Amino acid sequence: AQSVTQLGSHVSVSEGALVLLRCNYSSSVPPYLFWYVQYPNQGLQLLLKYTTGATLVKGINGFEAEFKKSETSFHLTKPSAHMSDAAEYFCAQTSGGSNYKLTFGKGTLLTVNP
Amino acid sequence: NAGVMQNPRHLVRRRGQEARLRCSPMKGHSHVYWYRQLPEEGLKFMVYLQKENIIDESGMPKERFSAEFPKEGPSILRIQQVVRGDSAAYFCASSPGTGELNSPLHFGNGTRLTVT
């Protein structure tokens, strides 16, 4: 069965510091990978996705992620954290190449300290 | 341009009651998906529907849960005889197409069900 592992259920950074949220996937076929953000009491918003092609993917709000097949990783980064980045972040992969049957990680709660 | 609309935002039911969760997809979207988020867990796929058809219900519990997406009106996720373990956030998503990676899912704000 496919799985997504997010290392660290809670990450705390200072404003202006680097944000690094880790995600490892397991898939027997080439995966399609996604990062979603969930602000309090809101739905999930797509940050970025990797399908094929360039392994460094840029998303909204200055986030980017790099697909590393050798490490089965898709870590999310942002050079400089902003207070508005405080939210829960979910990494996800698809099953069998479809777009709708996403397997999600348990999420990482990011807090940003002033 | 309204997004995916779910109601109610919060729903409290006593054990044994029925819960009905509604989802109106984004304008122009004909594909609806329901996901469930249990406490401290990631979202898990439940069911995928198109108008008047259930396409994939492989993630739906076999008993007490049902879903529909009628020709007119919102999609409904129905949970009969709720139990405490049904307490979760239920998210609906929609897309204009399926299996196409250029049409990502758009999620609603969720319905938080609490069973007392």
Which backbone phi and psi does A85 adopt, to 5 degrees?
-80, -10
CB atoms A100 and B103 under 8 Å: no
Instruction: Map residue B47 onto helix, strand or coil.
Output: strand
Contacts of B103 (CB under 8 A, 6+ apart): A99, B95, B96, B97
Contacts of A25 (CB under 8 A, 6+ apart): A2, A3, A4, A5, A31, A33, A72, A73, A74, A91, A93
- Whole-angstrom CA distances from A5 to A34, A93, B30 are 13, 11, 32
- Name which of B93, B99, B109 is nearest A42 (Cβ-Cβ): B109
Contacts of B102 (CB under 8 A, 6+ apart): none
Using one digit for the tens of pLDDT, what is the confidence trace for B16-29?
Answer: 999 999 999 999 88
Is some CB atom of chain B closer than 8 A to the CB atom of A59?
no
Helix (H) or strand (E) holding A109: strand A108-113
Burial of B116 (0-12, 13-18, 19+ CB in 10 A): exposed
Averaged pLDDT, A32-47 = 89
Is some CB atom of chain A closer than 8 A to the CB atom of B41?
yes
Cβ atoms of residues A93 and A31 within 8 Å: yes
Instruction: Map residue A106 onto helix, strand or coil.
Output: coil
Residue B70: asked if its preceding bond is cis (omega within 30°), the reply is no
Give percent of chain B above pLDDT 90: 75
Using one digit for the tens of pLDDT, what is the confidence trace for A14-28?
Answer: 999 999 999 999 876
| Residue A69 C-alpha, separation from nearest chain B C-alpha, in angstroms | 19
| Nearest to B49, CA basis, from B71, B28, B75 | B75
* pLDDT confidence of residue A27: 76
Using one digit for the tens of pLDDT, what is the confidence trace for B28-81?
Answer: 888 999 999 998 788 899 999 998 999 999 999 999 999 999 999 999 999 999
Q: Which chain B residue is nearest to residue A52, measuring alpha carbons?
A: B101
* pLDDT confidence of residue B90: 96
- Name which of A36, A49, A100 is nearest B95 (Cβ-Cβ): A100
Is some CB atom of chain A closer than 8 A to the CB atom of B98?
yes
pLDDT at A97 over 80: no
Strands A64-68 and A56-58, bridge-based pairing: antiparallel
In a 13 Å sphere around the CA of A108, the CA atoms on its Cβ side amount to 25
Four-residue CA torsion sign, A73, B58, A99, B21: negative
Q: Which residues of B touch A51 (CB under 8 A)?
A: 101
* pLDDT confidence of residue B93: 94
